[in-house]
Amino acid sequence: MSPSAAETRIIVVGAMLAMFLSALDQTIVATALPPIARDLGDFALISWVITAYLLTSTCVTPIVGKLSDLYGRRRLLTICLVVFMTGSALCALAPSMVALILARALQGIGGGGLITLAQTIVADVVSPRERGRYAGYFAAVWASAALLGPTLGGVVTQYYGWPWIFWINLPLGLAALLIADRALRKLPIDHHRSPIDYASIALLSGATIALLLVLSLGGFRFAWASREIVGLGIVAVILGILFVRAQLRSPEPVLPPRFLGDAAIGPALAAIFVIYGAYLAVAVLAPIYFQVALGAPVGEAGLLMIPLLLSSTVTANLAGWWTRHAGRYKHPPLIGLPVTVLALALLAVLADRLSAPAASAVMMLAGFGMGPIFPCTTLAAQNAVERRDLGAVSGAIGFARALGGAVFVAGASALLLGLIAHALPETGHLASLEELTRRGLPADARATVAGAFGIIFGVIAACFAVGLAIFARIEERTLRDQPAIVTSAD
């Protein structure tokens, strides 16, 4: 029996609250890191509080999606919420930095699963034609988490102590569970269970962790050509090849190879890898550009990012509205992405001549063009599969997005630091972007740094152009009018 309209709304609210929890936890911790390091010691390990969550949440994204296809959304959502809340409680109670890092890794397992399940559950109960509107809501959830996280983390840490940034997850997680659990009982479970492919899960996790460690540690703790980084890179490649071979033989692959051959899914995954990676590179580097190159205070740099986040959210929602009425999904990104390319190209040319507010305005223009790609790629991929593969394809989208973000942020950061080191040899070796923000630079050096950022923005504009070309290759298919749970029962 399918959920009623009222139950569908409850399911969507619960799914969005679950996604908000995971998204918020990726941003709320950043401002609390100094007090955490002061209380727990081991300053050298502080970056692992972020990295541990990234590693496990990325690994689990496609795995949970596939398991939800085999064993039901409700069961997996319950498990992920319990794991997330348990990890949060252990984070709040952590007596040492090592204990906190391990608890964050556990929290990431739950959080990564929540992101995939939220999108999959909505795809179950909402038709592809209506789904674009909800994808726009998800974009609003991500923007809200990005805006609220650092501020909320700072306020809670200052007035109540850093453990409370983890304690607040418990009532929110419990609310998400109670809101969605009863209604989720109405979702049918497909009867095609297969034994869990533990070997593929282990290979995928190992390859992903090795790659992310290369991207996290390379150029920071170890030189890119060091034995440690080269060794991790070789491990990632070997495990990746073994994973692909295992998927080709598996009756229920975690990441079905047929997705890559599909004329809608394959280009959608490639496009979101490139475009989300480029978007995240802008989101990470822009505050540093405002601070170091344009001289904006730290607090003001955060405010200058708001137009980018809001503009992309607005056009994501507009794109969802358009797909609902037109029944198609390609036009909004094909119109929007050229705007992003031109805006970033303009920023590249004028990077050393713009004021901070003017640069923020140009980024807002770029954000207007970025917004439509996020709901439309998800729609293209989910619309191309039956319900039995909704979890797997949603997991594949999340995995492509997470890997793209990690690869492009690491690449852009390394390129920027290399350009600055070449142009300003007197700065010495810069190990990280954070170190760059702590350096006091004279006016002429700031202009040189702005020029380096101009090159970066030009490269990112080119990446968006590549993403646009890939997206244009997606085969457009009319959006279905029936939810997946109805279609699968026919």
Q: Identical fold at 1-180 and 255-490?
A: yes
What share of the chain has pLDDT > 70, as a percent? 92
- Tally of residues, the chain: 490
The predicted structure's pLDDT at residue 3:
64
Give CA–CA dist 342/76, Å, rounded: 43
Contact present, 295 and 446 (Cβ < 8 Å) = yes
Is residue 432 pLDDT above 70, yes or no? no
Percent residues over pLDDT 90 in the chain = 31
Mean pLDDT over each residue of the chain, to the nearest integer: 85
Note the pLDDT tens digit of each residue in 51-84.
888 888 888 999 998 888 888 888 888 899 999 9
Q: Are 310 and 143 in contact (CB under 8 A)?
A: yes
- CA separation, residue 292 to residues 304, 352, 435 (Å): 14, 11, 11
Conformational region of residue 193, where left means phi above 0, alpha means psi within -120 to 50, and beta covers everything else: beta
For Cα atoms 433, 214, 32, give the angle at the middle one, nearest 5 degrees. 45
Q: How is residue 481 written in tokens?
A: 């009018």
Which residues face 176 on adjacent strands? none
Q: Residue 190, SS3?
A: coil
Assign domain 255-490 to its CATH architecture.
Answer: Up-down Bundle (1.20)
CB proximity list for 329: less than 8 A, separation 6 or greater = 132, 323, 376, 379, 380, 383, 476, 479
At 392-424, the pLDDT tens digits run 899 999 899 989 988 998 888 888 888 888 877
Give the pTM. Answer: 0.88
Distance, CA of 80 to chain centre: 18
Residue pLDDT, tens place only, 203-242: 999 999 999 888 888 877 788 888 889 999 999 999 999 9
d(CA 49, CA 32): 11
Q: What angle do CA 413, 415, 419 make, to 5 degrees?
A: 120
- The confidence score (pLDDT) of residue 490 equals 37
69-83, 324-338, 440-454: lowest mean pLDDT where?
A: 440-454
* Cα of 479 vs its chain's centroid, Å: 25
Q: Regarding the domain delimited by 1-180, which CATH topology (the fold level of the hierarchy) does it fall under?
A: Growth Hormone; Chain: A; (1.20.1250)
DSSP 131-168: HHHHHHHHHHHHHHHHHHHHHHHHHHHHHH-TTHHHHT
Query: By the 8 A CB rule, do 28 and 165 touch?
Result: yes
Q: Which of 56, 76, 177 is nearest to 117 (CA)?
A: 76
pLDDT tens, position by position, 148-191? 787 788 788 888 888 998 998 899 888 888 877 766 776 665 55
Domain boundaries, the chain: 1-180, 198-251, 255-490
Query: What CA–CA distance (Å, rounded) separates 96 from 359?
Result: 42
Residue with tokens 């992101």: 115
pLDDT for position 149:
80
User: Residue 469: its pLDDT value, please?
Assistant: 96
Burial class from Cβ neighbours inside 10 Å (0-12, 13-18, 19+) for residue 216 reads: buried
Phi, psi of 352 (to 5 degrees): -95, 5
Mean pLDDT confidence for 429-444: 68
* pLDDT of res. 235: 94
Main-chain phi, psi angles of 143, to 5 degrees: -65, -40
Reported as a pLDDT band with limits 50, 70 and 90, residue 466 is very high
Contact 397, 378 (CB under 8 A): yes
What type of residue sits at position 152?
L
Give the per-residue pLDDT at 489: 42
DSSP one-letter code for 479? P
Binned at pLDDT 50, 70 and 90, residue 292 comes out as confident
